[in-house]
Amino acid sequence: MAGDYVDYPFHFDEKGRSAVTSADDHVLDMIHQVLFTNPGERVNRPDFGCGLARLVFAPGHSALATATQFLVHGALQRWLAEVVQVESIDVIPGEARLTVEVVYTRLDTGERRRDRFTSARLEV
């Protein structure tokens, strides 16, 4: 993955052009989209995403955390298997938010990363 990628969410840069981002940020953007897109939101890909945002207000017990780990891992492997190799998922329920820590290796660079995604916001 070399070059510039259209930034997510889509916006314009200071010159009025489509904003672009680096390959590192693009991978984070793709993971974020898989995590927080609800199945059925995308017209031509109705099964895309894992709907993590819907689980924010679900009871935060260990069974839900375990099920969410499998849900996230499966969705990332399905949609981003050519981009990342997921090593582990950790789900941390909180008050009115859900934090998911994803440990993965980028397949294009071999770089191992650990990133946190919270509710509908990204924390890196």
Query: How confident is the model over 93-120, as pLDDT tens digits?
Result: 776 677 899 999 999 999 999 999 987 4
Give per-residue pLDDT as tens, 37-47.
988 898 899 99
Q: Among 9-13, 22-26, 34-38, 73-77, which range has the highest average pLDDT?
A: 73-77
Alpha helices (H) in 11-104, listed in sequence order:
23-36, 62-80
**What is the separation of C-alpha 117 from the centre of its chain, rounded to a whole number of angstroms?**
7
Give per-residue pLDDT as tens, 30-71.
999 999 898 889 889 999 998 887 765 555 566 677 888 889
Predicted local confidence at residue 10, as pLDDT:
85
CA distance 104 to 106: 7
pTM tops 0.95, yes or no? no
Quote the strand ranges of the chain, DSSP E.
5-6, 20-21, 84-94, 97-106, 112-118, 121-123
Predicted local confidence at residue 124, as pLDDT:
45
